[in-house]
Every structure is written in structure tokens, then in C-alpha cells.
């Protein structure tokens, strides 16, 4: 603990040695580490030797990371300078007290160099939380239970759970798949439960974690850690809509970078990972391109492919193109009964054999986007039953069915060794589309398309049908746009 009451909590040689020794002792004894920081400015009396304590404490913190032991930091008022910019920012989870002054530079320095007046909340815990630099802001009275819960989750050892063993023996009835147009309508219903609703309903306790630790806390992707019927898990979810205002979300680069943190946490602490997929797709705008949306998707896929922990993904609403796949490279992939999985962002130009700008009944059927279609294609492993008219009609029942399916899949995966888990995951995706009826059909369609180009004949659609031109009657069977919602 750094105490502001003694020389402003600055970090000199003695403080640096104490911090490094504490970190090394925790690593040697396989103990989690909690650091309470207040102060942390420069110990100018010791000159450049005080500066070197930053490097000393960082190298010691790396030892803790190598041993895969939890490191949690609590920032009190103030938390600035060398401690903040060294070991404190290497923690797995960073918590701050409300209203705390936080940052590398003192507030006075910021005011001196700023050309305009600073916002009222500048350099505070709340501002840092909004910029994705903290996991949460917690009152002092609530710190002890929060830290206790986090340590329980992150240090939970593998144990036998009788409920899971019994669940493995229980057969979960596979529901009938919805009709394509019915699925499209229900999957995009504004009242359908969001990922965060399911997290809070299924996990007890659930601790939401915030931020990408760079500059953003994108709310289109949420996540955290918790217990799923007593089993510690990490969880990531895509928020299809904003809870306030109802605006539909795309997937953004900073949201995926937040997901990277959750994947790293699950890997380091050997937590099974659950992902809830529900997005219309990646953001198609220039800003997202310039911020690296392609790189963010590729890195997410790579991390999911190599994560040495069981992963179960569930499409809980709309699985739109690359944005959905980013969190869908898993050992087991499930779909809720009325969910959809599309190779494109719906409402965009369908392209290819479909010249229409909006999805209609015919295109919905041809795209094979229902849960039943995806099971038949070998893309999805199972279907999760929903209430008769969709999850929005009975969210509690939907959450219970989803929880049961997740536990059954995780129980099966927990029996696999790490090597076998990764091998099966590799083979699962390596073989997708290989030597199947659908791959042969796709090849035949491409051949027919090339023949059509050479002869000037219309290109056939799916199943050999010539794609008809759009008629005015089709206007009544379009998916509503965001503005129609």
C-alpha cells in the first residue's frame, strides 16, 4: 500500500524495494496480489534513482503475470505519477474510488499546459472509466466484498460438480427451427433480451469489467466474470441495441479490443469462456476502417482460435457477418431457436445473385440463416429452445434454457485435455465447407455463373433457379430499416 500521508506517497528506493519484494513474494508463494495506491508522485530528493523504481516494480509485476496469479489494484485519491505509470497499470483488474484524482500528471500541470479550461470531471476516476482505463469505480464500503468476489472467481480451482455430471446424462430436447421470415422478424425484435440481460440473469455473482485500457469503453461489447451455477467463467457479449434510446449497434474496433482483454483473462486464469453473439455486423464507416476494424476482427479470431480454454458461443439474436464471427470461433456454437446467422449485414445490398437493396422473404430463405439451416450446414452444433413466440415474451424462461445448455456444453468440454481441445477446435473450422453437398453445390453455381457470363444468359440463383427481377409486390415483405423501428 502506498500512503499519501508519508511524503505524498512518492516512490523512492525504499518504496520501490518494498513493492518489488511484495510482488516477488506473491509470485514465489503462488498468492494473488492486491495493491492499494494513493499518491505515487516523483521522489525528487533521490533524483534519477527514484525514477528507476518504475522499472524495478514493473519487472517484479511481470513475474506475477508469468505465474498467472491475479493482480488487482485499487486507486484512491490521489493516484498519480510514477506508481500509476508503472506497476499499478499492469494489474489484471483496476478499481478506483469515486472522485479520485487519477493520471500520470498532477492536475496543476494539466491546467498549466491546457489552452482551454479543463472539464469539471477531468482527471477523475469517472473520466478514466468513461475512457476505458478502469474496470470499475467502487465506494470504499463496497470494496471488500468486490475484492473478495473477484478473488474467488479468479482463483477458483477445477472441481467436480455433481450437478454438471447429472446434466451430462440429461438429454435436452432439440426444438424445431423457425421459418426463415419468422426468425428474421423475431430475432430483430426491439424487446428481445440483450446480452447484458442474460449475463445478469445467469451469473451469480456477475462482475462487469470495463474498457480496452487504451481510450474507450465501447458499450456495443460488454463482458466480465462470474459464477455460472457455481462454475467460474469469463463472458463476452455483443449488445445489439443500446439499453437507453434503442439505437442499433455495430461492432467497433475498440469494442473488440475490450473483448481481447476478456479473452486474455480467461486464458490466464483458465476460465471457460462464453460469448453471446448479437450484432448486425461490423461498422461499415470510414472511422472504423481508419481505427483498424479489419485488424481487430482478425486478431479476435486468432485469439479465439488459440485460447487454451473451453469456449462456447451462442447466437442470441442477429448474427451479422464478420462482426458476429469475431466472437463465434468456438468449441461449441449454439443458436437460440429464433436467432439468425447471416453472411452479410442485413438491410445492406445483398450483392451477388441478389440485386435488391433490402432483404425479403425469398432472399431470407435462400440465405439459409435460421438455426436449423446452420445445424444442417454443420456451422452450428445445437439449438437452444425459446418461449413459443420468442425470448422477449418470457426472458426468465429463455435465460434458464440458455443457462442449462451452456452448462451441458461446458461439462462436456471440461473432460478434454488442453491439447485435444485445441486440436478439435482447429479441425472443426478447418473442415467447414469441405467435401460437403453444399460445397459441391457452390462449385456448380460458380461454374454456371461463369458459363452465363460467357454466353450472356441470366445467372442461376440457389438450387439452380434463375433470380427473378424485383416486383412492386415484394415491397410489402421487406425487413424494416432502423428508422422503421
Residues spanned by the domain of 55:
7-153
Distance of CA 248 to the CA centre of its chain: 17
Cα–Cα distance list, 449 to 158, 353, 367, 439, 464 (Å) = 54, 9, 18, 15, 10
Task: Output the pTM of the full model.
Answer: 0.86
**Residues across the chain:** 485
Q: Helix or strand or coil: residue 303?
A: helix
Same domain, 42 and 127: yes
Assess contact for 160 and 230: CB atoms under 8 A.
Answer: no
Asked whether residue 466 is assigned to any structural domain, the reply reads no
User: CA 210, 59, 102: angle at the middle one, nearest 5?
Assistant: 40
Contact partners, residue 7, CB within 8 Å, separation at least 6: 43
Same domain, 345 and 359: yes
Cell of 482: 432502423
- Model pLDDT, residue 480: 47
Taking the C-alpha atoms of 438, 443, 447 and 453 in order, what is their torsion angle to the nearest 10 degrees?
Answer: 80
Same domain, 259 and 401: yes
Q: Rounded to whole angstroms, how far apart are CA atoms 466 and 290? A: 39
CATH, residue 278: 3.90.226.10
- Model pLDDT, residue 461: 52
Radius of gyration from C-alpha coordinates of the chain:
26
> Last residue of a domain, which of 153, 174, 190?
153
Asked whether residue 477 is assigned to any structural domain, the reply reads no
Same domain, 146 and 284: no
- Model pLDDT, residue 467: 47
Look at the block and give the residue holding cell 426472458.
395
- Model pLDDT, residue 268: 95
Same domain, 264 and 399: yes
Assess contact for 287 and 325: CB atoms under 8 A.
Answer: no
CA proximity to 105, closest of 118, 123, 92: 123
> Last residue of a domain, which of 137, 153, 169?
153
Q: How far apart are the first and last CA of the chain?
A: 52
Per-position pLDDT tens, the chain of length 485: 565 655 555 788 888 999 999 999 999 999 999 999 988 667 777 889 889 999 999 999 999 999 999 999 999 999 988 999 999 999 999 999 999 999 998 888 888 898 888 888 899 999 999 999 999 999 999 999 999 999 999 998 644 455 556 666 667 778 888 888 899 989 989 999 999 999 999 999 999 999 999 999 999 999 999 999 999 999 999 998 876 656 678 999 999 999 999 999 999 999 999 999 999 999 999 999 999 999 999 999 999 999 999 999 999 999 988 999 999 999 999 999 999 998 887 764 444 444 444 667 887 787 888 999 999 999 999 999 999 999 999 999 999 999 999 999 999 999 999 999 999 999 999 998 875 666 667 677 777 777 777 777 665 554 444 444 445 454 445 544 444 44
> Last residue of a domain, which of 129, 153, 177?
153
User: Helices then strands (H, E): number in the chain?
Assistant: 18, 13
CA proximity to 327, closest of 273, 287, 289, 381: 273
- Model pLDDT, residue 464: 46
| Strand 203-208 relative to strand 221-228, pairing | antiparallel
- Model pLDDT, residue 437: 63
- Model pLDDT, residue 469: 46
Same domain, 14 and 67: yes
Assess contact for 279 and 320: CB atoms under 8 A.
Answer: yes
Same domain, 147 and 164: no
- Model pLDDT, residue 393: 96
Q: Rounded to whole angstroms, how far apart are CA atoms 396 and 406? A: 15
Same domain, 135 and 195: no
Asked whether residue 463 is assigned to any structural domain, the reply reads no
**How many folded domains does the chain comprise?**
2
Asked whether residue 293 is assigned to any structural domain, the reply reads yes
- Model pLDDT, residue 70: 97
Taking the C-alpha atoms of 356, 360, 363 and 367 in order, what is their torsion angle to the nearest 10 degrees?
Answer: 120
Asked whether residue 386 is assigned to any structural domain, the reply reads yes
Same domain, 251 and 340: yes
Amino acid at each position: 500500500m502506498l500512503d499519501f500521508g508519508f511524503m505524498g506517497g512518492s516512490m523512492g528506493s525504499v518504496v520501490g524495494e518494498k513493492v518489488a519484494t511484495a510482488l516477488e513474494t506473491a509470485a514465489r508463494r503462488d498468492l494473488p496480489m492486491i495493491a492499494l495506491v494513493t499518491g505515487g508522485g516523483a521522489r525528487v530528493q533521490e533524483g534519477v534513482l527514484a525514477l528507476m523504481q518504475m522499472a524495478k516494480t514493473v519487472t517484479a509485476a511481470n513475474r506475477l503475470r508469468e505465474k498467472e496469479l491475479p493482480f488487482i489494484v485499487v486507486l484512491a485519491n490521489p493516484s498519480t505519477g510514477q506508481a500509476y505509470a508503472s506497476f499499478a497499470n499492469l494489474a489484471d483488474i483496476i478499481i478506483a474510488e469515486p472522485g479520485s484524482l487519477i493520471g500520470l500528471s498532477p492536475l496543476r500541470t494539466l491546467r498549466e499546459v491546457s489552452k482551454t479550461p479543463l472539464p469539471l470531471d477531468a482527471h477523475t476516476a469517472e473520466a478514466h472509466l468513461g475512457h476505458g482505463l478502469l474496470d470499475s469505480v467502487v465506494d470504499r464500503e463496497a470494496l471488500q466484498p468486490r475484492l473478495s468476489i473477484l478473488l474467488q472467481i479468479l482463483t477458483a480451482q477445477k472441481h467436480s460438480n455433481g450437478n454438471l455430471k447429472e446434466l451430462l446424462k440429461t438429454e435436452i430436447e432439440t426444438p424445431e427451427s423457425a421459418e426463415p421470415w419468422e426468425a428474421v422478424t423475431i430475432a430483430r425484435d426491439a424487446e428481445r433480451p440483450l446480452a447484458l440481460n442474460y449475463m445478469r440473469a445467469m451469473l451469480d455473482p456477475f462482475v462487469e469489467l470495463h474498457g480496452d485500457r487504451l481510450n474507450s469503453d465501447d458499450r456495443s461489447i460488454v463482458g466480465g466474470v462470474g459464477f455460472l451455477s457455481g462454475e467460474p467463467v469469463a463472458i463476452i457479449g455483443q449488445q445489439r441495441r443500446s439499453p437507453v434510446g434503442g439505437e442499433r449497434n455495430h461492432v467497433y474496433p475498440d469494442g473488440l479490443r475490450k473483448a481481447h482483454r476478456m479473452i486474455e483473462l480467461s486464458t490466464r486464469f483458465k476460465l471457460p469462456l462464453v460469448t453471446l453473439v448479437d450484432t448486425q455486423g461490423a461498422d461499415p464507416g470510414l472511422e472504423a476502417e481508419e481505427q483498424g476494424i479489419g485488424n481487430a476482427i482478425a486478431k479476435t479470431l486468432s485469439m479465439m482460435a488459440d485460447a487454451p480454454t473451453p469456449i462456447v458461443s451462442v447466437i442470441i439474436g442477429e448474427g451479422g457477418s464478420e462482426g458476429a464471427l469475431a466472437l463465434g470461433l468456438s468449441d461449441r456454437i449454439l443458436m437460440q431457436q429464433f436467432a439468425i446467422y447471416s453472411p452479410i449485414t442485413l438491410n445492406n445490398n445483398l450483392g451477388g445473385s441478389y440485386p435488391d437493396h433490402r432483404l425479403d422473404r425469398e432472399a431470407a430463405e435462400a440465405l439459409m440463416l435460421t438455426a436449423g439451416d446452420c445445424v444442417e450446414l454443420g456451422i452450428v452444433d445445437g439449438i437452444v429452445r425459446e418461449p413459443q413466440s420468442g425470448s422477449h415474451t418470457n426472458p426468465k424462461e429463455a435465460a434458464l434454457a440458455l443457462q442449462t445448455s451452456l452448462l451441458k456444453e461446458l461439462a462436456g468440454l471440461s473432460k478434454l485435455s488442453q491439447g485435444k481441445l485445441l486440436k478439435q477446435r482447429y479441425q472443426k473450422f478447418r473442415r467447414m465447407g469441405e467435401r460437403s453437398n453444399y460445397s459441391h453445390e457452390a462449385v456448380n453455381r460458380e461454374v454456371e455463373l461463369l458459363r452465363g457470363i460467357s454466353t450472356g444468359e441470366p445467372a442461376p440463383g440457389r438450387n439452380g433457379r434463375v433470380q427473378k427481377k424485383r416486383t412492386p409486390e415484394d415491397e410489402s415483405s421487406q425487413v424494416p430499416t432502423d428508422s422503421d423501428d
